[in-house]
Amino acid sequence: MEAGTVFPQPPESEAKRAPEDNGGNKGVDGDTVRNPFARLVSHLRASWLSGKTRPMEYRVAQLEALERFLDDKKQQIMDATASDLGKAPFETELSEILVCKNELHETLNNLSHWMKDEKVDRILAMQLDSAFIRKDPYGVVLIIAPWNYPIQLFLVPLIGAIAAGNCVIVKPSEVSKKTERLVAEALPSYLDKHCFAVVTGGVQETTRLLENKFDYIFFTGSPPVGRIVMTAAAKHLTPVTLELGGKNPCYVSDTCDVTNVARRVAWGRFFNAGQTCIAPDYLLCTLEMQEKLLPALQKAINDFYGPNPRESPDFGRIVSDKQFQRLRALLGSGRVAIGGQTDEAERYIAPTVLADVLPSDPVMQEEIFGPILPIIIITNVDEAIDFINSWERPLAVYAFSSDDKVVNRILERTSSGGFCGNDTLMHVTLPSLPFGGIGNSGLGTHHGKFSFDTFSHLRGCLKRGMGRESLNAPRYPPYSQRKFGLIQATLKVAHKSDCTLL
């Protein structure tokens, strides 16, 4: 499949437009004709301006079409993700299909409520007026997705963008090749082709795409590319959501059920062969706890994947040779206590635990994003907190302890996009929780109502009557102290403690 291809192709009539008639889409340096995607963006903006995406019935029809896409293409999705990532059918059904369906149902169940204008309090001068917040769509949205959950990570934001009434271009990752092809070829036939499109390609094509003026950009990927996207967005003052990555710490206190901790940590680390943005990236515990955890982790890995995980149908593969080489080089950090086997031809890396790792080791210098779990030794909870706070703020912090006070202490004294006590990953499955990063791990949130809000501009609206002009007289020149007194009486917001009614 040729990179930079648009699915579906915009109609011929758009090609005949004069360069100045570009639907408000001026590329960098005013170059509108030469940007390969300018015509597409113009076409979507014209559709958005026509108002067709605004009615609730339209949004519902497009969301229902997304559900049909998931149902009709379920087997192809399973095959494509198995080919790209060796993903087990169970993991695909859970993380690519069920998560998207939950998001769709949550949105369909609540959309009419979310879309309603919100009435707001009015001051004395506006008691006869109507004041409300309108949830306005932004316009034309660009969604850029990564490869690790190649369906979920474009579809969940797409649900929010459609629910909020936008037109959308989706740019899936070129790394998860089979899924990219499936999405590009199959998705457009389910959606209104005048409002939604898929663009394929890598760095070169995405760079050209980003030259266009979008009304919102939703990016999921690595922090360095997040900076590139935000810089491109800044040229047009386009607002962004950045869902990024980083190293998620996992503190294990001395008082805990070691078997349960090991199973929950191993599941979170080795799901999707560790290629999960919220996976626990490293463990922080005392030396005594490390010695208890190692056999428990070994047992959990054995229970999950058998004595040879390479033969397990439930353990995935690394997405590309480049990622495989990067990960293999990290195995030299600390001491390999569990796993460590690799097979380049299969891009297989065994579920691996590295003991006695130092903060200066290579495995601690970057987000691991693979099936490798280092353990860093600390002496107590305060040292763990200081350690966490000395790094960039992560997407998730995990804390395990049978003592709720210890879990709360980690929650209160650290900062991260999200938090999960006594488990891993599960907080992301709740559509009622916002999902997003902070600092280096991202900007903005999505999931459920938070997605709808992300893709909606909160338009503050006041509607007044044409008459009653005498009520406006005090605000017009010539000004006087008396007029100001009247204005103050009707416009002032009283501080509650000023109230002397009782």
Decide if 171 contacts 201 (C-beta within 8 A): yes
CA nearest neighbour of 377 among 361, 366, 365, 393: 361
Listed ranges 221-229, 256-264, 296-304, 335-343: which one lies at the site for ligand NAD (CB under 6 A): 221-229
> Of 277, 285, 367, 420, which is the active-site residue?
277
**Run of H or E including 299:** helix 287-305
Interaction between residue 222 and ligand NAD (CB under 6 A): yes
User: What CA–CA distance (Å, rounded) separates 278 from 281?
Assistant: 8
Does 448 help bind ligand NAD (rule: CB under 6 A)?
no
In the complex with ligand NAD, the residue whose CB is nearer, 244 or 355, is: 244
Q: Let me know if 195 is a catalytic residue.
A: no
Q: Which is nearer to ligand NAD, 3 or 487 (CB)?
A: 3
Per the structure block, which two tokens stand in for 2?
């040729």
Residue 286 in the binding site for ligand NAD (CB under 6 A):
no
Pair 166, 141: CB distance under 8 Å: yes
Q: Binding to ligand NAD by residue 244, rule CB under 6 A?
A: yes
Two tokens at 39? 């015509």
367 binds ligand NAD (CB under 6 A): yes
CB of 53 to ligand NAD, least distance (A): 24
Question: CB of residue 254 vs ligand NAD: minimum separation in angstroms?
Answer: 30
Q: Which residues of 211-239 are buried (b: 16+ CB within 10 A; e: fewer)?
A: bbbbbbbbbbbbbebbebbeebbeebebb
Q: Is 59 exposed, middle or buried (0-12, 13-18, 19+ CB in 10 A)?
A: buried
Nearer to ligand NAD, 84 or 367 (CB): 367
Segment near ligand NAD (CB under 6 A); pick from 24-32, 82-90, 92-100, 241-249: 241-249
Choice from 228, 258, 433, 486 touching ligand NAD (CB under 6 A): 228
The single-letter code of the amino acid at 174 is E
Question: Quick one: which of 4, 8, 24, 202 contacts ligand NAD (CB under 6 A)?
Answer: 202
What b-and-e string marks burial along 26-58, b requiring 16 or more CB atoms within 10 Å of the CB? bbeeeebeebbbbbbbbbbbbbbeeeebeeeeb
- The least distance separating ligand NAD from the CB of residue 222, rounded to whole angstroms, comes to 4
* Of the candidate residues 67, 79, 174, 361, the single one contacting ligand NAD (CB under 6 A): 174
Q: Residues 388-407 vs ligand NAD: string with x where CB under 6 A?
A: -------x------------
Q: Which is nearer to ligand NAD, 106 or 205 (CB)?
A: 205
- Residue 202 or 239 having the CB closest to ligand NAD: 202
Only one of the segments 44-52, 93-101, 171-179, 375-383 lies at the binding site for ligand NAD (rule: CB under 6 A); that segment is: 171-179
The footprint of ligand NAD on residues 403-442 (CB under 6 A) is 437, 442
The residue count for the chain? 502
- Specify the stretch interacting with ligand NAD by CB under 6 A; choose among 35-43, 116-124, 172-180, 466-474: 172-180
Residues 183/170, Cβ–Cβ less than 8 Å: yes
The Cα–Cα gap between 436 and 448 comes to 12
The two tokens of residue 16 are: 């005949």
Range in contact with ligand NAD (rule: CB under 6 A) among 45-53, 189-197, 202-210, 305-313: 202-210
Residue from 148, 290, 416, 454 binding ligand NAD (CB under 6 A): 148
In angstroms, rounded to a whole number, what is the distance separating the alpha carbons of residues 209 and 232?
A: 10
Q: Are 252 and 293 in contact (CB under 8 A)?
A: yes
Q: Which two tokens stand for residue 245?
A: 């990555």
Does position 147 interact with ligand NAD (CB under 6 A)? The reply is yes
> What is the C-alpha to C-alpha distance for residues 409 and 389, in angstroms, rounded to an integer?
13
Cα–Cα nearest to 191, from 174, 172, 167, 211:
167
Sites of contact with ligand NAD (CB under 6 A):
144-148, 153, 171, 173-175, 202-203, 206-207, 220-222, 225, 228, 243-245, 277, 367, 369, 395, 437, 442
Active site residues: 243, 277
